[in-house]
Amino acid sequence: MSSGIIAPVVALVCWSLVIWLWMYATRIPAMLKARIRLDPTIPPANLLSGLPAGVRWKADNYNHLMEQPTLFYAIALALAVLDQGHGINAAIAWAYVGLRVLHSLIQTTVNVIILRFSVFVLSSLCLFALALHAAIAVF
């Protein structure tokens, strides 16, 4: 029987892949329309700066999903190994995933920074709680 905390881990990976698909589904057509020349001597930020903001937001969000969620994956798997991945920890993990999905939807559509930041802080509090619970279980 697997730990309940594994499901939110899998869900966030799947969500990250959805954002990856959305990023390229919008980026490639925008690059073709803008006739952006792929030049390895130009930094990627400069190369893509001419794309519409709404296109860039998807890439920004994909990058964000490769940053802090790596800590989530590590702590969730640690809790699973410690047999602490059920109950409140599974619920907190689902809250983290839900908040990260909400963060993505805000960033990829309207990108209201104060709203996005508020959701990020709430998700970070979930991550702190999971880390605290793992530390209590280990130490």
Nearest to 4 by CA among 98, 100, 95, 84: 84
Q: Residue 111 CB: number of other CB atoms within 10 A?
A: 15
Any domain includes 1? no
Whether residue 46 lies inside any domain: the answer is: yes
Token reading at 85? 């991945």
10-residue mean pLDDT profile of the chain (139 residues): values are 89 98 96 89 84 96 98 98 97 98 98 98 98 97
Predicted local confidence at residue 129, as pLDDT: 98
Under a CB-based contact definition with an 8 Å cutoff, are residues 37 and 123 in contact? Answer: no
Q: What is the pLDDT of residue 121?
A: 98
- Please count the structural domains in the chain: 1
- CA–CA dist 69, 15 (Å, integer): 11
pLDDT of residue 51: 93
Q: What is the pLDDT of residue 49?
A: 85
On whether residue 132 sits in a domain, the answer given is yes
- Domain of residue 76 covers 6-138
Q: What CATH number is associated with residue 103? A: 1.20.120.550
Give domain status of residue 70, yes or no: yes
**41 inside domain:** yes
Q: What is the pTM of this model?
A: 0.94
- At 67 the three-state DSSP class reads coil
Report if residue 108 sits inside a domain. Answer: yes
Contact 58, 27 (CB under 8 A): yes
Q: Is the residue at 21 inside a domain?
A: yes
Does residue 94 lie in a domain region? yes
